[in-house]
């Protein structure tokens, strides 16, 4: 795999994560929050996820799904880190252990 392809795969995963973060921020805002701000967060989340989706579709056209899909394992790590950074969520040791087990399982599947 060359570097640009890997970067596109990572970008598609980061788009999914960023979209989730924006949507979570939208849904977590109190009822009295500015409607324009909520609409912007919602629109940004959907737009970023849509971009990531179409990027993923483009990658699927060029590579086998069995090659691409194991990279979804990065999503779990990225989402925990992003939730900690942007949503101020706490990640317990058991959460990290679970994320690492899932990622290890995905890596094992990808190795075959």
Read off the tokens for 72.
Answer: 């979804």
The answer, yes or no, to whether residue 41 has pLDDT greater than 80, is yes
- Print the domain residue range for 55: 3-111
Q: Detail the DSSP E strand segments found in the chain.
A: none
Q: What is the DSSP letter of 31?
A: T
H or E element, residue 94: helix 93-111
- Structural domains in the chain (count): 1
pTM: 0.84
Output the pLDDT for position 110: 67
Read off the tokens for 35.
Answer: 């409607």
Please state, as a whole number, how many other Cβ atoms lie within 10 Å of the Cβ of residue 95: 13
Output the pLDDT for position 61: 94
| Tens-digit pLDDT profile for residues 90-100 | 999 999 999 88
Q: 108: which residues sit within 8 A by CB, 6+ positions away?
A: none
């Amino acid at each position: 795999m060359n570097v640009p392809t890997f970067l596109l795969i990572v970008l598609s995963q980061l788009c999914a994560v960023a979209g989730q973060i924006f949507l979570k921020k939208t849904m977590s805002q109190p009822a009295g929050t500015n409607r324009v701000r909520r609409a912007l967060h919602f629109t940004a989340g959907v737009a970023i996820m849509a971009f990531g989706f179409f990027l993923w579709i483009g990658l699927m056209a060029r590579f086998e799904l069995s090659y691409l899909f194991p990279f979804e394992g990065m999503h779990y790590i990225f989402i925990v880190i992003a939730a900690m950074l942007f949503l101020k969520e706490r990640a317990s040791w058991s959460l990290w252990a679970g994320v690492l087990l899932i990622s290890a399982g995905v890596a094992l599947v990808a190795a075959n």
